[in-house]
Chain A
């Protein structure tokens, strides 16, 4: 018996599918003609709206999920941290995707507060908030989940494959630290505050991935229940974020062909949709708890 996905989750993934259809059509045009125009338009306008709306949905459902728990309950703090992380990602998305975007629909450009173009400071604040700050809050929240799952005995032991994956993450993080070291000892004059803060993203992402592997293992051990799927979606969001980060790193080092690299940009849409789906499952689980009854006494087949 696998419970159906809640309506909110179905809506989110349907919206993602619609965006992907448009995005892949623009990508097809890019492959055929070599013109980035339609692709950039898709990412700047419907892409930005999707990013902001889906993250706002996550904030709303994370707020509702937080409200399901009493202040003394451990999961209340967990959902507070996840809510704050979602708020950081929303404000980051607003700064990087909408308010500093060089488009005529930009609110700040319309009210003539900012001139068209990307104001660097707001953009940097947005990147920091949606990057290391959001990741640190999410990592703290997920750590509490891992601890709670371990305490309740639903956190299964890691397999050899899980441990190998964690080892690969650590190697990748070490490789990035080597890159950082190169910049640090090479040309310090080029360093900016934003860049320095953004360096925390990679170790935090490594920590998040390790937590995601543990949570995924517990989800595999649990099955397909609503609560299990909530944390499964959170782990999926972290996995997509890491995949997006890996693609960016590979792109920077010229490891990916130019024709393929725009496909990596789509990963961020999957990440944001997975993160937004997680609190939807939690809210749905609480709703299902209040619904139905065992009115008729039966010994077999006693479903509510």
Chain B
């Protein structure tokens, strides 16, 4: 039965694979295009998360978010967020926690700029 589950997951992944996105643009994207791009990245991570493979891209984005958290809020704030997110093993929780702090204390525009940086050059 296990092989059947794997086959079903692979078929679902193949059919639900979103259209390939363009490479990182040189010119800044509009907010809607930016949102679409980030959502595309999230969708692909979620698809990968459905399988059991470790997500290298999510880990990389998590590391970047940690660096930014440390820069704006400090080492101890980072440790607190890490401790709060340690219950869930995926980097997605860390990204969400970081994003909440960025939006609250830096404003949406600055948080969007940070989001662009965090998700740049990720597949």
Contacts and interface: CB of A to CB of B under 8 A. Distances in A.
A292 B118 CA distance: 11
Interface in B44-98: 56, 59-60, 63-64, 67, 69-78, 80, 84
Interface string A172-200: 00000000000000000000000000000
A225 B109 contact: no
A289 B59 CA distance: 21
B105 A227 contact: yes
Interface in A250-304: 285-286, 288-290, 292-297, 299, 302-304
B6 interface: no
B35 interface: no
Chain B CB count within 10 A is highest, among A224, A227, A289, for A289
Contact of B77 (A223, A289, A292): A223
Interface residues of A, number: 36
Contact of B121 (A68, A220, A222, A297): A297
B76 A1 contact: no
B116 to A, nearest CB: 8
Contact of A288 (B69, B71, B74, B78): B71
Contacts of B113: 289-290
Given A74-B104, A153-B80, A285-B106, A292 B73 contact: no
A70 B110 CA distance: 11
B108 interface: yes
Contacts of B111: 289
A74 B105 CA distance: 9
Contact of B120 (A154, A228, A289, A295): A295
Chain B CB count within 10 A is highest, among A68, A220, A222, A299, for A222
B37 to A, nearest CB: 15
A113 interface: no
A216 B117 CA distance: 30
Given A153-B84, A299-B60, A303-B67, A222 B106 contact: no
Nearest to A228: B74
B114 to A, nearest CB: 5
A294 B120 contact: yes
Contacts of B117: 292-294, 304
A170 interface: no
A222 B64 contact: no
A223 B71 CA distance: 10
Interface string B19-41: 00000000000000000000000
A302 B76 contact: no
A223 B107 contact: no
A292 B103 CA distance: 19
A17 interface: no
A216 B57 CA distance: 36
A53 interface: no
Contact of A224 (B59, B74, B122): B74
B105 A75 contact: yes
A264 to B, nearest CB: 33
Given A70-B107, A154-B101, 11 more contacts: A68-B107, A75-B105, A153-B80, A223-B76, A224-B74, A227-B73, A228-B74, A290-B110, A299-B60, A303-B67, A304-B67
28 contacts: A1-B75, A68-B109, A73-B108, A74-B104, A148-B104, A154-B73, A154-B80, A220-B76, A221-B77, A221-B80, A222-B73, A222-B74, A223-B78, A225-B69, A225-B77, A227-B105, A227-B106, A285-B106, A288-B71, A289-B102, A289-B111, A289-B113, A292-B117, A297-B60, A299-B59, A299-B60, A302-B60, A304-B67
Listed from nearest, the 8 A-B pairs whose CB atoms lie closest are A223-B74, A289-B110, A222-B77, A225-B74, A225-B73, A223-B76, A69-B107, A223-B75
